[in-house]
Amino acid sequence: MSTTSPGSTGTAAAPAPVARPVEGAVLLREIQQLGITHVITVPDTHQKTLLELLAAAARPRLLTVCTEDEAIAINAGLYIGGQRPMLLIQNNGLLASINALKAIALEARVPTFFLVGQFARDVTRSNAESPVRAVRMVEPTMATWGVPCYPIEGPEDVPAIARAYRQCLEERGPAVALLGAPTS
């Protein structure tokens, strides 16, 4: 609900954001500190600044692929071969890749860490209240499959990325860090 104060011009105040941007540089530093060797991406509108930094960084290697199914399988091959990969995709892509997630991350028990941008999210509303299905349905869909989901709603949530990644390795399965606002 918006209000106007006495004597104001009558212009409604903008709703306060629920999700706030995390700097791309902060995310890159977090990824590097985790020892990630490869970031496999189908590019995400939400994570443009992070993608730019990754493209310019000496490590990890940024690998752009055609589909999220491929990304999950490439992640598996890299993991088997001794590397520490992760995925950077958007919500629509995560939903498109459920069969690969099922077969490779869940059934074959390959650690599969997703950093997922909530494309088309109105940052003044929670994920659950979003009118956009791709935004609203990611968490319930992952819950249905038993995939842990860690919302990253602002800079204070960044430590959850490391928790999600470690959970992947320890439990040999998937985990999702869900980025609520576009990176700055």
Judged by the rule CB under 8 A, the positions of this chain that interact with other proteins are 38, 63-67, 69-83, 85, 99-100, 102-104, 107-110
6 or 82: CB nearest other proteins = 82
Compute the distance between CA of residue 164 and CA of residue 184 in angstroms, rounded to an integer.
22
Beta-bridge mates of residue 116? 89, 178
Contact 55, 9 (CB under 8 A): no
Comparing CA positions, the residue from 118, 107, 88, 93 lying closest to residue 173 is: 107
User: Shortest distance, CB of residue 55 to other proteins, whole angstroms?
Assistant: 14
User: Shortest distance, CB of residue 75 to other proteins, whole angstroms?
Assistant: 6
150 or 165: CB nearest other proteins = 165
22 or 142: CB nearest other proteins = 142
User: Shortest distance, CB of residue 150 to other proteins, whole angstroms?
Assistant: 24
Compute the distance between CA of residue 10 and CA of residue 109 in angstroms, rounded to an integer.
57
User: Shortest distance, CB of residue 41 to other proteins, whole angstroms?
Assistant: 11
22 or 88: CB nearest other proteins = 88
Residue 33 makes CB contacts below 8 A (sequence gap 6+) with: 162
Comparing CA positions, the residue from 153, 143, 151 lying closest to residue 174 is: 143
DSSP code of residue 156? G
